[in-house]
Amino acid sequence: MLIFKKQSDLRNWISRQGKVCIGFVPTMGALHRGHISLIEQSKRECELTVCSIFVNPTQFNDPADLAKYPRPIGSDIELLLQAGCDALFLPEYDDLYKTDELLQTDLGGLDALWEGAIRPGHFQGVVTVVKKLFDAVRPTHVFFGQKDFQQCSVIRKMMRNFDMKISFRMCDIVREDDGLAMSSRNIRLSAEERKTASNIYKTLSTATIKKETLSPEMLGQWATKELGNAGMVVEYAAIVDTTDLKPATTWEWPTVLLVAVKLPSVRLIDNILLS
């Protein structure tokens, strides 16, 4: 696996590969089996697979959260080697950001709901760095995890705005044995918190059954109560339209249950497609 720290070196290498299918998996590191599943999917579909590791400061609205974000680069590189990744882009901040200016693009209100409402400016930071990374790698395919469902929607909107001819793949959530969605933040959970967090997937799974007898609004209320009773602070548990992420009023269109909860040590998000 080749490791590049400068955009210019990465671009020169990519240009020498000719017209090949290039899969790209952007990450913030602290890699786990969920990230590796994206690498594996890229390798199945593409001739070359590039991963990036960059902890992007512009998408953190809490400096403490940024400071606590894990950065185990040695073990990350080992995992990528084992997965057969072809190249790792490991840029410094100054190589990506010439100024602190954020990308200005209309995200159609997708950045103002749910995560966007709780973390103002977060998605502008996300699309800024993703656009920079796409420009550096120039992939034909990109791979993201469904766990960050709203982020996937925002990035796809940004891609449409800039008419990017890139195939977008949203890959299935990879879960622990107890159902907890894999996340780099899970290592900060205590044993007791981990036990509590397992109730997230139990609630999501049960929601797929209760959907048959409850309206979207009632199901959201039920999920909120279940998660709260399990000992978590619920920031939101809502059934939304998969297209515009606005609250669903009927089951007529595809919907997803989005969840965000807080435990003493960490904040977790998850989701499940309902129709």
Domains defined for the chain, CATH in brackets: 2-171 (3.40.50.620), 184-273 (3.30.1300.10)
Amino acid present at 57:
P
Residue 35 appears among annotated catalytic residues: yes
| pLDDT (0 to 100) of residue 142 | 98
| pLDDT (0 to 100) of residue 155 | 98
Considering the candidates 32, 35, 122, 141, report the single residue annotated as catalytic: 35
- Of the candidates 21, 1, 45, the one whose C-alpha atom is nearest the C-alpha of residue 171 is 45
| pLDDT (0 to 100) of residue 101 | 80
% of the chain surpassing 90 pLDDT: 89
| pLDDT (0 to 100) of residue 15 | 93
- Which residues of the chain carry a pLDDT beneath 70? none
| pLDDT (0 to 100) of residue 271 | 98
Amino acid present at 81:
L
Q: Are 150 and 114 in contact (CB under 8 A)?
A: yes
Instruction: Tell me the whole-structure pTM to 2 decimals.
Output: 0.95
What integer best gives the mean pLDDT of the chain? 95
Q: Are 240 and 256 in contact (CB under 8 A)?
A: yes
The CA-to-CA distance between both ends of the chain, in Å, stands at 40
